[in-house]
């Protein structure tokens, strides 16, 4: 697996990173189920008939998805605005993923252009990158398209957009993500993909979904990138 990971890193011409998972746990201090509940309460207040189906939902992105398919544009925009505000607030107490920073720094130091491709809002991603002094290493942020939840991964559109802006063919990019939507979006876009199985149950699911490589720690990716260069600072310990 180490050889396959190193080969993948060696062949890559750009690194695309999912945000929530590989970079940080955005809702560590402001839990996702709390945000989801607040969004559902908004839907109830607006008389959205499908809100009852979401009362046990713990994923705020799923609340937004359902709003996009079952509500009119004004409701979707209201949910989007509230979610952006919640995500920016959450970014202030987000918990960095162990060795996530080292991956970004190592990729930057070996000359790989880096894009964050996220279903979270670009405002939240940029707030986190600024707070953790990572913005200088990240060339591009492709966050959630405003009030268009159908464009979120697994839709390949944001992955293709990132590759296009970076000027790198999707087949020469590597996406590093921790969800099936990342794996599926990468496969649909023709991008190679590293599955970050930060929970044991994810490994088999990622392998079955066609991930090129599966890792259980960001340290593995950082080390593979460091070995490409041999001079990187910020090495994992």
pLDDT of residue 237: 40
pLDDT of residue 234: 44
pLDDT of residue 2: 87
Kindly state the tokens that stand for 137. 């290493």
Q: What is the mean pLDDT of residues 118-129?
A: 98
Q: What is the mean pLDDT of residues 55-82?
A: 97
pLDDT band at 1 (very low <50, low <70, confident <90, very high): low
Kindly state the tokens that stand for 192. 């190679």
Select from 3.40.50.720, 2.160.10.10, 3.40.50.2300, 3.40.50.1000 the CATH code of 2-26+96-229. Answer: 3.40.50.1000
* CA atoms of 188 and 154, how far apart (whole Å): 8
Q: What is the mean pLDDT of residues 17-41?
A: 98
Max intra-chain CA distance, the chain:
59
pLDDT of 86 > 60? The answer is yes
With CA atoms as reference, report the closest residue to 17 among 158, 124, 116, 128. 116
Give the dihedral of Cα atoms 86, 38, 202, 182; nearest 10 deg.
Answer: -50
């Amino acid at each position: 697996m180490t050889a396959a990971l190193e080969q993948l890193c060696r062949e890559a011409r750009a690194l695309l990173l999912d945000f929530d998972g590989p970079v940080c746990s955005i809702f560590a201090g402001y839990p996702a189920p709390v945000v989801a509940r607040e969004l559902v309460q908004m839907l109830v207040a607006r008389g959205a008939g499908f809100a009852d189906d979401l009362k046990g939902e713990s994923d705020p992105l799923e609340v937004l998805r359902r709003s996009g398919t079952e509500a009119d544009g004004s409701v979707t925009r209201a949910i989007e605005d509230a979610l952006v505000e919640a995500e920016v607030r959450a970014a202030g107490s987000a918990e960095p993923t162990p060795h996530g920073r080292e991956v970004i720094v190592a990729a930057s130091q070996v000359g790989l252009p880096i894009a964050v491709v996220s279903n979270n809002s670009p405002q939240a991603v940029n707030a986190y990158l600024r707070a953790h002094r990572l913005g200088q290493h990240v060339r591009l942020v492709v966050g959630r398209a405003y009030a268009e939840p159908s464009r979120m991964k697994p839709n390949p559109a944001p992955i293709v957009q990132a590759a296009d802006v970076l000027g790198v063919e999707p087949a020469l990019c590597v996406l590093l993500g921790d969800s099936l939507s990342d794996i599926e979006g990468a496969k649909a876009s023709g991008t190679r993909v590293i599955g970050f199985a930060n929970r044991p149950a994810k490994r088999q699911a990622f392998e079955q979904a066609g991930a090129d490589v599966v890792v259980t720690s960001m340290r593995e990716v950082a080390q593979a990138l460091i070995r490409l260069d041999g001079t990187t600072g910020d090495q994992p310990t």
